[in-house]
Amino acid sequence: MGAVKMKLNELTKIKTRSKKRIGRGIGSGKGKTSARGSKGQKSREKIPLRFTGDVSFYRKLPLRKGQGNPKISSKPKIVHLSKLNVFPKGSKIDLEQLIKAKVVNEKDVKSGIKILLKGKLEKALIVKLPVSKNVKKAIEKIGGKVDV
């Protein structure tokens, strides 16, 4: 049996680059100002990473009414009309029924729920949730009812 030949390009690389040594003379290429440029606050000792020399980052951000305010910033959870086919014909659908059928989580209920038209409803139901205009038409067309 012949010996297995190794190829240089198939060897695993074990050499790692050493850290750049700053401030070790002109010949190193990173001497004198140590890659910090000349003068200014950034060239002297330690400064915070977030320092920009101008207005701080968080002050530049726009003021928003809804940011951090869950009442304004959170939007209602969208439930598609086709997901209501899980319920039997003529049943009343409210938040509790949706949670029992695991169509939505309890966490989703906090921000509210709205039913939008996607898919097709095959059973007449009584819906006691906010719905879009098209959903209302689709439910009433089948013989269902919308109470909000």
What is the SS3 assignment for 126?
strand
In the chain, what are the domain boundaries? 21-61, 70-146
Q: What is the pLDDT of residue 51?
A: 77
Residue 116 pLDDT: 92
Would you state the pLDDT for residue 23? 87
Beta strands per DSSP E along the chain = 77-80, 92-93, 113-116, 126-127, 145-146
The pTM of the full predicted model, rounded to 2 decimals, is: 0.51
Looking at residue 80, its pLDDT comes to: 92
Helix or strand run (H / E) with residue 141: helix 133-142
Per-residue pLDDT tens, the chain, 148 aa: give them.
678 888 988 888 888 888 888 889 888 888 888 888 888 877 878 887 777 778 888 888 877 777 777 667 678 899 999 999 999 998 999 999 999 998 898 887 888 889 999 988 888 999 999 999 999 999 999 998 898 7
CATH code of domain 70-146: 3.100.10.10
Task: Say if residues 53 and 41 touch (Cβ distance below 8 Å).
Answer: yes
Cα→Cα distances 56→28, 40, 44, 68, Å: 35, 17, 19, 20
